[in-house]
Amino acid sequence: GENVEQHPSTLSVQEGDSAVIKCTYSDSASNYFPWYKQELGKRPQLIIDIRSNVGEKKDQRIAVTLNKTAKHFSLHITETQPEDSAVYFCAASKGVNSGGYQKVTFGIGTKLQVIP
Amino acid sequence: NAGVMQNPRHLVRRRGQEARLRCSPMKGHSHVYWYRQLPEEGLKFMVYLQKENIIDESGMPKERFSAEFPKEGPSILRIQQVVRGDSAAYFCASRSAGSGRNEQFFGPGTRLTVL
C-alpha cells in the first residue's frame, strides 16, 4: 500500500518568514495530493491540492510543488502570519481515474508555529 | 448546503460499554471514510464505505469495531466493549462519487473518552 512520509514534525518560523513542509510517497500510481490544515480542536480542512499532471500550483501565499520522478511534494507558505499556526497534513491518493477505488493516505502531520 | 455532520461531538464511556458514532455526509456524497486521531498524531485510516457497502476496512481492528453506511440514514462507527486505548478523536469524511478527484470533506469529529 501507499506510504507517505512527512517532515519536519514541528516547525517554528518568525512571522513574515516562509515555511516549507516536505512529503514523499511510495506508490507511483498516486496522482492526487491534497494538503489539509487542522487548527487546534478543529476539523482538517483542505487548503490546496495538486494532481500529477501539474508540477506546481499556487493560491495566494500557498504553493505546492510536485516531483513525480522523485515521488516527493512540498507545501510552501510565504509571508507567514500567526493564523497560519496549525497542524498541516499532506496526503496521497489515486484519483477516480484509477479504477474507481480511492483511499487517501495521510502523512503524520507538521505542527507549524508562527511566532509574532 | 450543510457540511459533514457528526454526533455526538463528545462521548464519554466507561470501559466495557459500547460507543456509537454517527456521521451524516454532505448532501449528494455517497462515499464515507472514518479516521482515528490520537493526541499529537496523524489521521489513521480505518474504513471506507459506500452506500450499503464496505469497500475497505483494512485500517479497522478486527475485533470490537464495526461500521455501516445504510441506504437511509447516517454512517455508524460502532465500538463494542471500549477500552482506554480507544480514547481518541474520530473523524469522518465524505466525498462525491462524481468528482474527478478525491477531495474529502471532514466532519467536526467525535472525541471519545473512555474512563
Whether A32 sits inside 8 A of B101 (CB atoms) is: yes
Residues of chain A neighbouring B102 (CB-CB closer than 8 A): 32, 34, 93-96, 102, 104
Supply the pLDDT for residue A101: 67
Task: Provide the residue-wise pLDDT of chain A in tens; the chain has 116 residues.
Answer: 789 999 999 999 999 999 999 999 999 989 889 999 999 989 999 999 998 888 899 999 999 999 999 999 999 999 999 999 999 999 998 865 544 567 889 999 999 999 99
Q: Which of B113, B68, B93, B103 lies closest to B6, judged by CA? A: B93
Residues of chain B neighbouring A42 (CB-CB closer than 8 A): 108
Mean pLDDT of all residues belonging to chain B: 92
Whether B91 sits inside 8 A of A46 (CB atoms) is: no
Distance in angstroms (rounded) separating the CA atoms of residues B18 and A11: 39
Cell 519536519 appears where? A8
CB-CB contact of B53 with B96 (8 Å): no
Beta carbons within 10 angstroms of residue B17's beta carbon = 14
